[in-house]
Amino acid sequence: MKQIIFISIALFFVLACSTQKGVVKIEENKEEMVAVEDSLEYQLETFDAKFETWYALHDNPSQYRSQQYYENWNRQYVNAWNYNSTQPGKRSFFEPIVGYEPNVDYGFELNHKLFYYFQYVERVLKIEIMPGGPRSLSL
Protein backbone atom coordinates (compact mmCIF):
# COMPACT_ATOMS: atom_id res chain seq x y z
CA MET A 1 0.00 0.00 0.00
CA LYS A 2 2.83 2.41 0.89
CA GLN A 3 4.51 1.73 -2.44
CA ILE A 4 1.35 2.61 -4.38
CA ILE A 5 0.98 5.89 -2.48
CA PHE A 6 4.66 6.72 -3.01
CA ILE A 7 4.48 5.94 -6.73
CA SER A 8 1.30 7.95 -7.19
CA ILE A 9 2.80 10.97 -5.36
CA ALA A 10 5.97 10.73 -7.47
CA LEU A 11 3.90 10.44 -10.66
CA PHE A 12 1.74 13.40 -9.63
CA PHE A 13 4.88 15.46 -8.90
CA VAL A 14 6.40 14.65 -12.30
CA LEU A 15 3.17 15.53 -14.12
CA ALA A 16 2.73 18.74 -12.17
CA CYS A 17 6.23 19.90 -13.04
CA SER A 18 5.99 18.92 -16.70
CA THR A 19 2.84 20.98 -17.33
CA GLN A 20 4.73 24.24 -16.82
CA LYS A 21 6.67 23.97 -20.09
CA GLY A 22 5.94 26.59 -22.71
CA VAL A 23 4.37 29.10 -20.33
CA VAL A 24 6.76 31.88 -21.36
CA LYS A 25 7.55 32.55 -24.98
CA ILE A 26 9.92 35.26 -26.04
CA GLU A 27 9.55 36.65 -29.51
CA GLU A 28 11.58 39.25 -31.29
CA ASN A 29 9.55 42.35 -32.01
CA LYS A 30 10.98 43.57 -35.30
CA GLU A 31 8.82 46.70 -35.36
CA GLU A 32 10.33 48.10 -32.18
CA MET A 33 13.99 47.36 -32.85
CA VAL A 34 15.96 50.48 -32.00
CA ALA A 35 19.68 51.06 -32.35
CA VAL A 36 21.12 51.09 -28.86
CA GLU A 37 24.47 52.57 -27.97
CA ASP A 38 27.00 50.55 -26.03
CA SER A 39 25.16 49.90 -22.80
CA LEU A 40 27.85 48.10 -20.84
CA GLU A 41 27.73 48.83 -17.17
CA TYR A 42 30.54 48.05 -14.79
CA GLN A 43 30.18 47.20 -11.14
CA LEU A 44 32.74 47.30 -8.37
CA GLU A 45 32.71 44.24 -6.14
CA THR A 46 34.60 44.51 -2.89
CA PHE A 47 35.26 41.70 -0.48
CA ASP A 48 34.99 43.82 2.65
CA ALA A 49 31.46 44.34 3.97
CA LYS A 50 32.50 47.30 6.13
CA PHE A 51 33.63 49.28 3.09
CA GLU A 52 30.06 50.06 1.95
CA THR A 53 29.24 51.66 5.31
CA TRP A 54 32.50 53.58 5.37
CA TYR A 55 31.97 54.72 1.78
CA ALA A 56 28.45 55.98 2.51
CA LEU A 57 29.77 58.03 5.43
CA HIS A 58 32.73 59.52 3.53
CA ASP A 59 31.26 60.04 0.07
CA ASN A 60 30.87 63.80 -0.08
CA PRO A 61 29.89 65.42 -3.41
CA SER A 62 31.45 68.71 -2.34
CA GLN A 63 34.87 67.04 -2.42
CA TYR A 64 34.48 65.36 -5.82
CA ARG A 65 37.36 65.59 -8.23
CA SER A 66 37.27 65.03 -11.99
CA GLN A 67 36.96 61.60 -13.55
CA GLN A 68 40.45 62.03 -14.98
CA TYR A 69 41.81 62.63 -11.47
CA TYR A 70 40.33 59.35 -10.24
CA GLU A 71 41.42 57.47 -13.37
CA ASN A 72 45.03 58.65 -12.97
CA TRP A 73 45.19 57.57 -9.34
CA ASN A 74 43.35 54.31 -10.03
CA ARG A 75 45.87 53.32 -12.71
CA GLN A 76 48.69 53.82 -10.22
CA TYR A 77 46.86 52.02 -7.42
CA VAL A 78 45.88 49.09 -9.63
CA ASN A 79 49.46 48.66 -10.81
CA ALA A 80 50.71 48.74 -7.22
CA TRP A 81 47.92 46.39 -6.05
CA ASN A 82 48.61 43.86 -8.78
CA TYR A 83 52.35 44.07 -8.11
CA ASN A 84 51.73 43.45 -4.39
CA SER A 85 49.60 40.43 -5.26
CA THR A 86 52.68 38.78 -6.78
CA GLN A 87 54.87 39.38 -3.71
CA PRO A 88 55.12 36.38 -1.35
CA GLY A 89 54.83 38.38 1.88
CA LYS A 90 51.81 40.41 0.77
CA ARG A 91 49.80 37.85 -1.20
CA SER A 92 47.34 37.10 1.59
CA PHE A 93 45.60 40.47 1.37
CA PHE A 94 46.28 41.42 -2.25
CA GLU A 95 45.36 38.05 -3.73
CA PRO A 96 42.57 39.09 -6.09
CA ILE A 97 44.10 40.84 -9.07
CA VAL A 98 42.25 44.01 -10.02
CA GLY A 99 41.17 43.91 -13.66
CA TYR A 100 41.25 47.58 -14.57
CA GLU A 101 41.97 48.44 -18.19
CA PRO A 102 43.40 51.96 -18.64
CA ASN A 103 41.80 52.45 -22.07
CA VAL A 104 38.25 51.58 -20.93
CA ASP A 105 35.88 54.33 -19.81
CA TYR A 106 34.39 52.96 -16.59
CA GLY A 107 32.55 56.17 -15.84
CA PHE A 108 32.76 58.59 -12.96
CA GLU A 109 30.94 56.52 -10.35
CA LEU A 110 33.06 53.39 -10.64
CA ASN A 111 36.33 55.34 -10.77
CA HIS A 112 35.27 57.37 -7.75
CA LYS A 113 34.26 54.32 -5.74
CA LEU A 114 37.39 52.38 -6.68
CA PHE A 115 39.55 55.32 -5.62
CA TYR A 116 37.73 55.46 -2.30
CA TYR A 117 38.22 51.71 -1.83
CA PHE A 118 41.97 52.19 -2.16
CA GLN A 119 41.75 55.04 0.36
CA TYR A 120 39.78 52.79 2.70
CA VAL A 121 42.43 50.06 2.51
CA GLU A 122 45.24 52.50 3.21
CA ARG A 123 43.60 54.72 5.83
CA VAL A 124 41.20 52.42 7.68
CA LEU A 125 42.81 49.02 7.30
CA LYS A 126 46.29 50.60 7.51
CA ILE A 127 47.64 48.52 4.60
CA GLU A 128 49.91 50.49 2.35
CA ILE A 129 49.24 49.83 -1.30
CA MET A 130 51.45 52.47 -2.81
CA PRO A 131 53.80 54.91 -1.10
CA GLY A 132 53.14 58.57 -1.85
CA GLY A 133 49.42 58.36 -2.57
CA PRO A 134 47.07 61.34 -2.30
CA ARG A 135 47.13 62.69 1.24
CA SER A 136 45.27 65.95 0.72
CA LEU A 137 41.80 64.46 0.94
CA SER A 138 40.01 64.83 4.24
CA LEU A 139 38.37 61.45 4.52
Burial class from Cβ neighbours inside 10 Å (0-12, 13-18, 19+) for residue 119 reads buried
Spatial CB neighbours of 45, under 8 Å, sequence gap ≥ 6: none
**Percent helix, strand and coil across the chain, each to the nearest 5:** 50, 0, 50
**pTM, entire model:** 0.67
Q: So where are the chain's domains?
A: 65-123
User: Residue 6's Cα: distance from chain center in Å?
Assistant: 47
How much is the pLDDT for 27? 39
DSSP annotation of 86: T
Closest CA to 59 of 125, 123, 113, 111: 113
Closest CA to 119 of 99, 105, 135: 135
User: Tens-digit pLDDT profile for the chain (139 aa)?
Assistant: 555 554 555 544 444 443 333 333 333 444 444 444 456 778 888 778 899 999 999 888 878 899 999 999 999 999 999 999 888 877 677 777 888 888 899 999 999 999 999 999 999 999 999 988 886 555 5
